[in-house]
Chain A
Amino acid sequence: MSKRLNVSASPHVRSKTSTKTIMRDVVIALLPACIAGIYVFKLQAALILLTCVATCLLSEYIYEKLMKKQITTADYSAVITGLLLGMNLPPSIPIWIAMLGSVFAIIVVKQLFGGLGQNFMNPALGARCFLMISFTGRMTTFTLDGVSSATPLAIIKNADRSVPVLDTLTNNGTSLFKMFVGYTGGTIGETSAACILLGALYLFVRRIISWEIPCCYIAVFSVFVLAFGGYGFDINYLAAELCGGGLMLGAFFMATDYVTSPITKKGKIIFGICLGLLTGVFRIFGGSAEGVSYAIIFCNLLVPLIEKVTIPKPFGYVKEAKKS
């Protein structure tokens, strides 16, 4: 045989799934919620989402070009960061703030720590918190149909506990149904719980995410707010807490971010539980009505510790016999 054959160690075959196909699936899953946001908040929302995605891609491209690294803009990960950041911004935010946030997400949170797979916190959430601290007023002003209004969560948080939740919502021109389907003040992406769930369902079907993190997160959070929310065991209150704010988006799309969540099964469960507790604490005892972003980035920092203590025991493991 005169021909040269390839030689490498086994295995010699690879599955069809790649980083790119996974990221593309996440983008697809985010689309329903984006479309809902654009439907509710109109052109302004579309502009912000577009700006964020474009700026993220551009920052990644420029950074990698300058650093003479391989250009990775085609792997969709910057698109996800852009979409998630845009979805976490109020529709009334000035475009330049959205751009600043995108640059911060990609350059500071992602690339400076080594790029894809090396960032220790979710880039979109890191940028959101950066913007929250820098432009608190603008980041917490939510408008709906051009009228500035409080978010349902803020309304419930500050409401008189003796008035039923449903009445409180109705008195303020909203309802559980509106919160679920998506016609309330808030950030662009979190407006429609239904659309987020639709996207999440897609991720489950495509096996991109597993049940551990979102289920533990939501379950623990539910128990926490029922116990400490001040409304007693009130299903309506729970539903409002679940549909309002960033919980759904956070639980299904940001807490499950591969890079910044534990890799072991047990670790994922612990991570979900920590998230549920922290979000509960922030929402009920904290100064703001929201707590998802801070809970997630805080727990991102715990990931290495969680992983360290959750290395599973291997198959057929038996305790080392004591050497006498």
Chain B
Amino acid sequence: MKGGTFKGGTHPFGGKDLSKDLPVKKIKPSGEVVYPVSQHIGAPSNPIVQVGDQIKVGQTIAEAGGFVSTDICSSVSGTVKKIEPRLTVSGAMVNAIVVENDDKYETVDGFGEDRDYSKLSKDEIRDIIKKAGIVGMGGAGFPTHVKLAPKDDNAIDYVLVNGAECEPYLTSDYRMMIECPEMIVGGLKVILSLFPNAKGYICIEDNKPEAIEKMQEAVKGVDKVEVKVLKTKYPQGAERTLIYASTGRTINSKMLPADAGCVVNNIDTVISIYNAVCKNIPLIRRIVTVTGEGALHPQNFEVPTGMNYAEVLEAAGGCSEDTVKIVSGGPMMGMALFDLNVPVMKSSSALLCMTKDEVAEHEPSPCIRCGRCVSVCPSKLVPQKMLEYAERFDNEGFEKIFGMECYECGSCTYVCPAKRRLTQSFKETRRSVLDARRR
């Protein structure tokens, strides 16, 4: 079984053993639940509830603020307490709807009722997905209904379900593949019904044999769906590398997967699509892995969106004394938190407690031009030169050597023997280039 792969990439320490065999546990928030209006790429959603309103589970509390935007639904029942800026994972203050949970979990009418997707039209399906507030749950948070509405439905050849989960430590997608493969296949079938010419691939790295087995069983007898085994390598789950590894097609930063006839969705996103379309349950939960050497009891949780991170960590028994860094997401692309009082958002995949901060441990030393960054870059860039331009604030030079093709996977920084902070500089430079373009 030779897996599909791509050129470059790295093999960071896996760390998945900490939580991979722990079944997903459902937890519930107490007290206030916070829904930032910007949990996705695109325009923020507009709140449609007032302070003091009584709301129910599954009720839409904010509506899409444009085409590239999405709705937000409540995961609890209770009273709208405040609408005010709140701290989010990224460190930014974002306008948020704060709901006081009444612990009754009263649901809206029709919540959880079975629905036959084959009787729905394509537009109805897309509308349900939009109203359910579904976004890419792998991290980027791109509104899914936009992804599922390419210019030409017939031009889509592949629907890829991203089960690579190449980030070290994360096991949320893995657990879902083990525990509810039929929901993943169900969601994939819904997506396939939108694209008459498409085949469905469920892409899994070869370090997850149990998941591959489960999924292969689940797709048996399902038309046009198969499991694609990929080589274990970071960043296999990045959209561009995933498309290349499973279909041999290439896209660059200016293209969408649809330009290569592909639609890519993360495992949890596909499950949310299944829930929304077939069960009438909007996106109000997600799987969060609490893990890392500092986590006292690593866990995989099903967490209602809006729940406080500190509460999630508490539910897992907290973290050890020697935890020095807590990251939302994986160690390669996740965001370090300085305050745990932030809400779980649609794209929050993990809470990683690290007892060792390798960034602080290693002061950068001069570049010895070893070329490791060049050989691992999945976008075939020259990070060493990009850094030279970035450090000189030469945005023009940075763009000229294709710096904007970088998607900040962190591979170059991971392998750098001089421990230089490449990705960090690229992030800054890329933001400043994008800002300048907007002006």
Could you tell me which A residues sit within 8 Å of B by CB distance?
A: 1, 3, 5-15, 17-19, 21-22, 72, 75, 77, 115-118, 210, 258-259, 261, 263-265, 307, 311-318
Contact = CB atoms under 8 A, between A and B. Distances in A.
B410 A10 contact: yes
Nearest to A263: B371
Interface stretch (B142-150, B220-228, B249-257): B249-257
B214 interface: no
Contacts of B338: 5, 7
B332 A11 contact: yes
Contacts of A314: 252, 379-381, 402, 405
Given A315-B240, A315-B379, A11 B417 contact: no
A10 B424 CA distance: 7
B332 A10 contact: yes
A311 B250 contact: no
A150 B165 CA distance: 64
B83 interface: no
Contacts of A15: 10, 12, 414-417
Contacts of A75: 365
B297 interface: no
Contacts of B337: 5, 7
Interface of B: 10, 12-13, 168, 240, 244, 250-253, 255, 310, 323-327, 329, 331-340, 352, 354, 357-362, 365-372, 374-375, 378-382, 384-385, 401-402, 405, 408, 410, 413-419, 421, 423-424, 427
A15 B250 CA distance: 28
A5 B336 contact: yes
Contact of A14 (B310, B362, B380): B362
A313 B414 contact: no
Contacts of A313: 380, 402
30 contacts: A6-B325, A6-B359, A8-B357, A8-B360, A8-B424, A9-B427, A10-B332, A10-B333, A11-B414, A12-B334, A13-B13, A13-B414, A17-B417, A22-B368, A22-B417, A77-B368, A115-B366, A210-B371, A259-B368, A264-B374, A265-B374, A265-B375, A311-B402, A312-B380, A314-B252, A314-B381, A314-B405, A315-B252, A315-B405, A316-B405
Contact of B250 (A7, A13, A316): A316
B368 A315 contact: no
Contact of B12 (A13, A21, A116, A258): A13
Nearest to A23: B368
Given A7-B337, A8-B424, A18-B362, 18 more contacts: A3-B323, A5-B326, A8-B357, A10-B331, A10-B335, A10-B408, A12-B336, A14-B361, A17-B372, A19-B368, A116-B365, A117-B369, A117-B418, A118-B366, A210-B375, A263-B374, A313-B380, A315-B405
B331 A12 contact: yes
B303 to A, nearest CB: 19
A51 to B, nearest CB: 25
Contacts of A318: 252
A21 B417 CA distance: 8
A115 B336 CA distance: 34
Contacts of A9: 336, 421, 423-424, 427
Contacts of A115: 366
Nearest to B408: A10
Give the most central of B10, B331, B361: most A CB within 10 Å. B331
A12 B366 contact: no
A258 to B, nearest CB: 5
B154 to A, nearest CB: 22
B359 A12 contact: yes
Contact of B359 (A14, A72, A264, A312): A14
Nearest to B407: A315
Give the most central of A5, A6, A8, A317: most B CB within 10 Å. A5
A12 B327 contact: yes
Contacts of A77: 368
A36 B437 CA distance: 61
B176 to A, nearest CB: 24
A263 B334 contact: no
A19 B418 contact: yes
Contact of B369 (A6, A7, A21, A258): A258
Contacts of B326: 5
Contacts of A5: 323-326, 336-338
B365 A19 contact: yes
A3 B113 CA distance: 45
Contacts of B250: 315-316
Contacts of B421: 9
B400 to A, nearest CB: 9
Given A19-B418, A21-B417, A263-B374, A311 B385 contact: yes
Contacts of A116: 365-366, 368
